[in-house]
Chains A and B, each alone.
Chain A
Amino acid sequence: EPEVTQTPSHQVTQMGQEVILRCVPISNHLYFYWYRQILGQKVEFLVSFYNNEISEKSEIFDDQFSVERPDGSNFTLKIRSTKLEDSAMYFCASSVVFGYTFGSGTRLTVV
């Protein structure tokens, strides 16, 4: 069964540093998403991406965040200057139209 792959599984970064989280969506999927889950809290929507542009984004997805599909297979989430409160599990997902497949997540720890 096809999978959404996320790397790395765990990333530790210093406050103020830039971090890039990587995802390889399922190859025939058209929609791509990032969600995050702060420890003990809900899974929260960050952004969706379709046809090489952002289609929806939440209030969380401010100017510190950006997404890119640099080469037609990877889908990345960049956090420009990490804050302590960015520590969370970040989940990538993809879908054809609907019917999400989630990746296993990247745990980001900002110290």
Chain B
Amino acid sequence: AQRVTQPEKLLSVFKGAPVELKCNYSYSGSPELFWYVQYSRQRLQLLLRHISRESIKGFTADLNKGETSFHLKKPFAQEEDSAMYYCALRLQNAGNMLTFGGGTRLMVKP
């Protein structure tokens, strides 16, 4: 069965510091990977899809099939980036179900 692991429950950085939120997955086929963000008291919002290879709010993520990782990066963190970040996986050609990681709380200190 597929699995998504986010090893850090909490990541605390200072404003302007680089950020890397780790995500590893286990699945032998071709997954589709996503990052979702949840700001305080707000709904889950799609941040990135690996297929689109775009940068949103300065965040990027590259799918590394060799390491089965999809780490989320930003070179200079901002205080407004403080939120919960969830990595999620969808199995291609297997419906629309998402499997989520446990989430990482990012705190950006002034």
The residues of A with any CB-CB pair to B shorter than 8 Å are: 4, 31, 33, 35, 41-45, 48, 55-56, 58, 91, 95, 97-100, 102-105
B43 touches A41 (CB 8 A): no
CA distance A22 to B96 in the complex (A): 21
Return B51 CB to nearest CB of chain A, in Å: 10
B44 touches A45 (CB 8 A): no
B96 touches A95 (CB 8 A): yes
Closest B residue by C-beta to A93: B44
Please provide the chain B residues from 70 to 97 with a CB less than 8 Å away from any CB of chain A in the complex: 86, 88, 90, 95-97
Closest A residue by C-beta to B9: A40
B96 touches A33 (CB 8 A): yes
CA distance A94 to B102 in the complex (A): 22
Q: Beyond the given A43-B86, A100-B96, A102-B44, please list 18 additional residue pairs across the A-B interface where CB-CB is below 8 A.
A: A41-B102, A42-B100, A43-B88, A43-B98, A45-B97, A48-B95, A55-B95, A56-B95, A56-B96, A58-B97, A91-B44, A98-B96, A99-B46, A100-B46, A102-B45, A103-B43, A104-B43, A105-B43
The residues of B with any CB-CB pair to A shorter than 8 Å are: 42-46, 86, 88, 90, 95-103
13 contacts between A and B (CB under 8 A): A35-B98, A42-B100, A43-B44, A43-B86, A43-B88, A43-B100, A48-B97, A56-B97, A95-B96, A97-B96, A98-B90, A99-B46, A102-B45
CA distance A41 to B73 in the complex (A): 24
